[in-house]
Amino acid sequence: MAAAPEQILFLHLRWESNQVHLVDSKLRPGHLKPSPHAPASAPRIQIRLADLQGLPLWTTEVPDPRSTRIEFPGPAGSGTLQSMPSRREHPETLLRVPLHPAAAEVQILELPAAPAAAAALPAQQGTLPQPGKLLGRFTLATPRPASAPETPR
């Protein structure tokens, strides 16, 4: 018996008042490539695929799309750039999640900021950071394939 082809779920998300809203989702064939992890000191969110009991089947961390850095010229004549953190109020982002046959929902969790001293230490293998606030939870219905016609809203 042949294994089912791998599929990737593309989730278009919008943040509003510290909550995440699903704008759209599309299913496409393919294998999810690993993405680079954000430094432990940077604001991050955790994406989880969970089964019907809420147990994680797949987990990853990505930079928090609400946090960004603004760069600007340094003192006149210095030829340097300075930067400062900034917070976006209503960012939109596209997340890629591998579709798992037992997955029932996608959970988006805010990870607490790591203290600078802890960020410099290597993480213990097999340990996951403890998530903070649940920002969003989306039940996985059968998403329409990318080739399906759009339905009027």
**Is 70 exceeded by the pLDDT of residue 147?**
no
Q: pLDDT band for position 148 (50/70/90)?
A: very low
Q: What is the pLDDT of residue 5?
A: 82
Which residues in 47-77 are b (16+ Cβ under 10 Å) and which e?
A: bbbbeeeeeeeeebbbbbbbbeeeeeeeeee
Q: What is the pLDDT of residue 92?
A: 93
For residue range 11-66, list pLDDT tens digits in order: 999 998 788 999 999 999 998 888 766 666 778 889 999 999 989 999 998 888 88
For residue range 96-142, list pLDDT tens digits in order: 999 888 999 999 999 887 655 444 444 444 445 566 789 999 998 75
